[in-house]
Amino acid sequence: MTGTETGRLASLLRWLGLTMVFVLVLQMAAVLVGSDWSEEATSPQITGPLVALAPLGFIGLLTCLIGSRLENPQQQVTPLRAVVCVLSALLAIGMLVAVPMSLSSGAGDLSQAQNIEQGRAAMKEARAFRDNPEQVASLGEQLAQAGQLAADASKDDKQRAAETMIDEQISQMATQLKRVESQKNRESRQRLIGGTATAVVLAIAFVLLALTAVI
């Protein structure tokens, strides 16, 4: 490859990298502007998109650095390399900040956590109701008065009908609670892998890129 061709390739890589960095800035601005900062759950909402966009910035800065190395292989520090170093350092700091933000959002949605607590409390009350013979007998009488049992239903029939009804409700609540808890656990694992772990790896990558730009 001749010097002219190398210069053209270096210029193309430089502008290609700068374009990707500019797209990253626009996307980050869109995430920040579109977030509702009055809500308590804003941090988890912006952490995920910013971490997901960070690889675009890494590729763009790396492309700029490669173009600069091709254009000025003997010169150790150029203005473009200094810009790459500074931006890489800033993005590394941003990824480090994103780690505790991602961990602090481990509790998930507040309404989801409240639903789980309410579901557990409801199941506890239902089991306590089931273990109380007087309340079960009262429910059996109510079922009979509501016409849900035969007119000549015995006391044992009323009790069995009440126990069956309570058991079905407890089973439904347990199934629903298990579904909500499973969803919360999946979201926590996804947040750990896609948010926290990715942010740590990207922070290391940006630090290495910043060092590479000035060495």
Contact 80, 64 (CB under 8 A): yes
Contacting residues for 73 by C-beta, under 8 A, at least 6 apart: none
Concatenating the DSSP letter of every residue in 130-178 gives HT-HHHHHHHHHHHHHTTSS-TT--HHHHHHHHHHHHHHHHHHHHHHHH
* pTM score above 0.75: no
Domain ranges of the chain: 3-108+195-214, 110-188
Q: What is the rounded distance in angstroms from the CA atom of residue 119 to the CA atom of residue 132?
A: 20
pLDDT in tens, the chain (215 residues): 565 777 788 889 989 999 999 999 998 888 878 766 566 554 556 777 888 889 999 999 999 999 888 887 777 788 889 999 999 999 999 888 888 776 665 544 566 777 788 888 888 888 898 888 888 888 888 888 877 777 677 888 888 888 888 889 989 988 888 888 888 888 777 777 777 888 899 999 999 999 998 88
Contacting residues for 111 by C-beta, under 8 A, at least 6 apart: none
CA-to-CA separations, 46 to 30, 94, 98, 189, 215, in angstroms, rounded: 10, 12, 9, 18, 33
Minimal CA–CA distance to 24: which of 3, 50, 63? 50
Residue 61 token pair: 């800065």
Report the amino acid identity of residue 166.
Answer: I
CA-to-CA separations, 83 to 3, 30, 90, 99, in angstroms, rounded: 25, 23, 11, 25
Neighbours of 195 (CB within 10 A): 23
Half-sphere exposure of residue 209: CA atoms within 13 angstroms, side-chain side: 27
